[in-house]
Amino acid sequence: MRSRTFPILVDGQWRPAAGSETFRALDPASGDPLPGEYPISPWSDIDEALAAGARASFEMAVLGPGPIARFLEALADRIERRKTDLVAAANLETALPAEPRLGSVELPRTLDQLRKAAAACRDRSWTRATIDTRTDIRSMYGPLGGPVVIMGPNNFPYAYNALGGGDFAAALAAGNPVLAKAHPGHPMTTRILAEIAHEVAAETGMPRAAVQLLYHFASEDGLRLVSHPLAGATAFTGSRPSGLALKRAADSAGKPIYLEMSSANPVFILPGALEERPEAIAEELFQSCTLAAGQMCTKPGLAVIPDGPAAGGFIEMVRQALEASGPMVLLGPKVLDGLREASARLSLKGAERLAGKREPSDPGIRFYPTLFMMSGARFLEDPSSFQVESFGTLSVIVVAKDAREMREIAACLDGHLTGAIYSRTDGGDDPEYDTIEPVLRTKVGRLLNDRMPTGVAVSPAMNHGGPFPATGHPGFTAVGFPAALMRFAALRCYDHVRADRLPPELRDANPTGTMWRLIDGDWTQGSI
Amino acid sequence: MRSRTFPILVDGQWRPAAGSETFRALDPASGDPLPGEYPISPWSDIDEALAAGARASFEMAVLGPGPIARFLEALADRIERRKTDLVAAANLETALPAEPRLGSVELPRTLDQLRKAAAACRDRSWTRATIDTRTDIRSMYGPLGGPVVIMGPNNFPYAYNALGGGDFAAALAAGNPVLAKAHPGHPMTTRILAEIAHEVAAETGMPRAAVQLLYHFASEDGLRLVSHPLAGATAFTGSRPSGLALKRAADSAGKPIYLEMSSANPVFILPGALEERPEAIAEELFQSCTLAAGQMCTKPGLAVIPDGPAAGGFIEMVRQALEASGPMVLLGPKVLDGLREASARLSLKGAERLAGKREPSDPGIRFYPTLFMMSGARFLEDPSSFQVESFGTLSVIVVAKDAREMREIAACLDGHLTGAIYSRTDGGDDPEYDTIEPVLRTKVGRLLNDRMPTGVAVSPAMNHGGPFPATGHPGFTAVGFPAALMRFAALRCYDHVRADRLPPELRDANPTGTMWRLIDGDWTQGSI
């Protein structure tokens, strides 16, 4: 029935989607559909949102950073006030624990992101204003001139939500409107966030189409959207096949697209570390692999250890810890399908399944934590097959002959978000570290010492990114302010533009008094 | 005859190319082939260079910035000493004037680029080292882990040469080896530059394959090269069709590619300016259109003026100046073909040819400066046809009904490198400026006031870039140090990496004493 389908948010109005197709979210704990019909938009809805978004991008340029920063801050405050509703909704739709995960970890993180984005927007240092007084040439980063399309993932209903998450905050802080597509796994959570954003946008004087929401559309319409002349750029977090299809479409039209597609997050445990503290590292690996049922983009999917007296005991500790965990509830049926396929593929390719041999009997979408083992020699015969992300509680331990073979494995890695190296506390592994690190360094965005990769701090020095196919470009991060804004910005040079026509960031006087600018080669908060 | 074919430079050795196919350069002034056979490399040459370049990228990481900076500086000095040979070679191969263009403009500019790149390499501020002491997360930009493939254009035999030009300097300064492909229009110039670089590389202790040179290869091998797993990134300056083909290949493999493909560099002359100083602007437009026979990436190919009493006189002045110039020698037969095709296409599409109706009778590759005119209404009927770059002395003047139509024309622009707005000195055009500038701003990398776009200063604030299809990404510049280095860099985060394992840029102590780093949100030259 049309009347029971939720409306979409286009050009400042909640209105019915043009088509009649709908979908429902699922309760992963029971496997049953949740109440509420959400619309699958036909192209005409997208087309209208694009046109409105393009208008909004000009309106936002006139508006300047103040109202945008106020919007982001007010949005954080209002989301905080609606915590109870938001936690209930996300818990129902994702089965992620209400506490501490949703209420005390992810929601505060999301508020922090919105506030940091607001601070970056107001501070203006993110624009990297560069002034060459000798030539009177001045440049800065500015918005793209079109709405940023955001497609968020299933695993962070707030922090990476296309409506209210990190990409959303960064795109707006950089001065762009957002055209958000909800993840179909948590439409209710997204709807509440959009309702809050819509109210706050009106109150803070944002353009009508600064924030728009569609719930779903056909894949081919997604390709058309990201390659549309009116689109500014796209941010996508999700599966590699979807990411690659979107990348192909956007690339063909010369539209920037930032993708976080997959990562096995290899962990190298050097011989001395394995000998020194096998229990501690096994426990850390177990914890990191099972955090949020392994549904983390930085889950260690690949641990590489050297053979030797400590190897067997280490593997056994990890196996036992995983086996002792019950089956875990996953975010949705596609995650389960992916894990089943990955298990079958790994078995077929000769990896040995050590944990996770059972099928859960409880209802809902569940999977037993699963561990595979293989030799370094087998890995090296077919490296591309064994470093594919298995999203969920599935990891592979590779037992290499020695540190030399561990280096060879590092050399066969594709791009990943992270790479960790565990080594002896007293530096006894330094020779091995020095041979593996230079190889691993070029394959990952973030390199860790003696810690697991899960847990991505919202730090200005964070790189949540990495070489292809982890992302689409090795120079950008999706987490951390103000760096995350750079994805949604164009470099704008002003060559002998009259002083009164320059944007405030490029005039002689420092516009905020505290903004950092690069003037004649020196970073300064001063004026000219 | 094999013995007379010049060798290629692979892995530190000048050695014969594997195949037997060759090409010869042309003297554009006579149209005759020049002496000297240059090899067209088969894939095996490229494959070998890629493997050697990949090894060199690790060797350069060990080497650190000092030797690279010394190499770039010594290269500049040695090129300066070989000026006579280089000017003679480039003059012969390109027909660009020996003086002032080659000897007193382009060569000094090239030396300046190499020295600025060396300074950036040594200074380290370009790495944007960011330290968050609260979380002990540190990040910086570093090399890509593979050789940078550079394919330079025909029109700057030194300053944009794949061997010795701006991309070369930037790629090396960022710590990457270079795999250069000569432009077939000036192989002798490129050979001399490579010989100098080879000598200097040996003297300064650079890795064998830090600089490699191939002269030519089949298009399909070029596509294979830029998408090869061992390639770090590609920089290409040239035609749009070639650029798009390379982009497709590199994108499909997730390899960064930076393209400068084409630009019509629109110039908007507002009503008051046209009325105030028609002669001066006509002269500037004429000079800018004919500089280097119009073979500049920033040549104004599109001038938009309002109809009115001054329009006819202005057009007539430009026409007369162009007609009074003799036919101009072009860089090569492809440039001439392109101009003839463009002229035919523009005539067919209803533009009126005002100047350049004759065919040159002299030998060599020559073309009469050509001017087309059309109405704004006609432009708006088919905007994509009339803003294609015509490389060489061909420009289009669009006569718009009024400033409102000028704004509509700006709104129909694709991405271009530059956009200029001429307005009345006393601010009388400010209302028109304020309606056109926000539209034009999002379409161009560099916005100028009251000056023509030719002449790209090597300034730290320069943006020689712009939205697609002028380039492949709106966030990067090909000119200006240190910004140009960012194209050849990956973001590298160090998360709790032990202090003695951090790169010097990220340790507590400032490694140079003057390097700028972003520590806890403040730019500083200090230590922690």
The alpha-carbon radius of gyration of chain B (Å, integer) is: 24
Of A132, A251, A483, the CB nearest to B460: A132
* CB contact residues (below 8 A), chain A span 108-137, against chain B: 130-132, 134-135, 137
Give the amino acid at A396. Answer: V
User: Which pLDDT value is given to residue A2?
Assistant: 45
Give the pLDDT confidence of A388-422 residue by residue, as tens digits.
999 999 999 999 999 999 999 999 999 999 999 99
- Residue A111, Ramachandran bin (φ over 0: left; ψ between -120 and 50: alpha; else beta): alpha
**CA atoms of A317 and A454, how far apart (whole Å):** 20
**CA atoms of B482 and B489, how far apart (whole Å):** 12
Give the amino acid at B123. Answer: D
Share of chain B above pLDDT 70, in %: 99
Contacts 24+ apart (CB under 8 A), A59-62: A59/A207, A59/A210, A60/A143, A60/A175, A60/A176, A60/A177, A60/A206, A60/A207, A60/A210, A61/A142, A61/A143, A61/A175, A61/B438, A62/B438
Nearest to A130 by CA among B450, B463, B515, B437: B463
User: In sequence order, what are the beta bridge partners of B371?
Assistant: B355, B395
**A324 in contact with B, Cβ within 8 Å:** no
**B240 in contact with A, Cβ within 8 Å:** no
The DSSP element (H or E) to which B235 belongs, if any, is strand B233-237
Nearest to B155 by CA among B237, B234, B276, B43: B237
Residue with token string 């020996």:
B98
SS3 B321: helix
Q: Are B24 and B202 a contacting pair, CB within 8 Å?
A: no
The Cα of A188 is separated from the nearest Cα of chain B by a number of Å equal to 34
Other CB atoms within a 10 A radius of the CB of residue B337 amount to 12
B3, pLDDT greater than 60? no
Nearest to A289 by CA among A339, A346, A361: A339
Phi first, then psi: what are they for A210, rounded to 5°? -65, -35
Please count the residue pairs, one from chain A and one from chain B, whose beta carbons lie less than 8 angstroms apart: 204
Residue B461 and residue A254: Cβ atoms within 8 Å? Answer: no
* CB contact residues (below 8 A), chain A span 450-489, against chain B: 450-451, 453, 457, 459-463, 465, 467-469, 472-477, 483, 486, 489
User: Which pLDDT value is given to residue A75?
Assistant: 98
Chain B interface, best mutation among A421, A434, A443, A491, by max B CB count within 10 A: A491
Name every residue whose Cβ is closer than 8 Å to that of residue A256 and which is 6 or more positions away in sequence.
A144, A232, A233, A234, A250, A487, B473, B474, B475
Give the pLDDT confidence of B455-497 residue by residue, as tens digits.
899 999 999 999 999 999 999 999 999 999 999 999 999 999 9
**A246 in contact with B, Cβ within 8 Å:** no
User: Which pLDDT value is given to residue B4?
Assistant: 82
Phi first, then psi: what are they for B448, rounded to 5°? -115, 150
Of A144, A472, A491, the CB nearest to B254: A472
**CA atoms of B336 and B28, how far apart (whole Å):** 11
Give the amino acid at B192. Answer: I
Q: Which regions in chain A score pLDDT beneath 70?
A: 1-3
Cβ contacts (< 8 Å) between A483 and chain B: which residues?
130, 491
User: Which pLDDT value is given to residue B252?
Assistant: 98
Give the pLDDT confidence of B301-350 residue by residue, as tens digits.
999 999 999 999 999 999 999 999 999 999 999 999 999 999 999 999 99
Cα–Cα distances (Å) from A289 to A268, A284, A296, A391, in that order, read 15, 8, 9, 10
B1, pLDDT greater than 70? no
**CA atoms of A279 and A285, how far apart (whole Å):** 10
Q: Are B332 and B93 a contacting pair, CB within 8 Å?
A: no
The full DSSP string for B475-499 is T--SSSTTGGGGGG-EEEEEES--G
Cβ contacts (< 8 Å) between A247 and chain B: which residues?
251, 254
Other CB atoms within a 10 A radius of the CB of residue A472 amount to 27
User: Which pLDDT value is given to residue A1?
Assistant: 41
Residue A449 and residue B251: Cβ atoms within 8 Å? Answer: no
The Cα of B436 is separated from the nearest Cα of chain A by a number of Å equal to 12
Nearest to B392 by CA among B333, B348, B466, B477: B333
Other CB atoms within a 10 A radius of the CB of residue A428 amount to 16
User: How would you classify the pairing of strands B444-449 and B416-422?
Assistant: parallel
Write down the catalytic residue from A48, A73, A93, A260: A260
**CA atoms of B71 and A380, how far apart (whole Å):** 38
The full DSSP string for B70-127 is HHHHHHHHHHHHTHHHHHHHHHHHH---IIIIIIIIIHHHHHHHHHHHHHHHHH-GGG
The residue of chain A with its CA nearest to that of B489 is: A475
Q: Are B272 and B428 a contacting pair, CB within 8 Å?
A: yes
Give the pLDDT confidence of A83-130 residue by residue, as tens digits.
999 999 999 999 999 999 999 999 999 999 999 999 999 999 999 999
User: Which pLDDT value is given to residue B2?
Assistant: 45
* Alpha helices (runs of H) in A16-159, residue ranges in sequence order: 43-63, 65-81, 83-94, 107-123
Average pLDDT over residues B501-523: 98
B361, pLDDT greater than 70? yes
Write down the catalytic residue from A297, A389, A408, A432: A297
User: Which pLDDT value is given to residue B268?
Assistant: 98
| Residue B73 pLDDT grade (very low, low, confident, very high; cuts 50, 70, 90) | very high
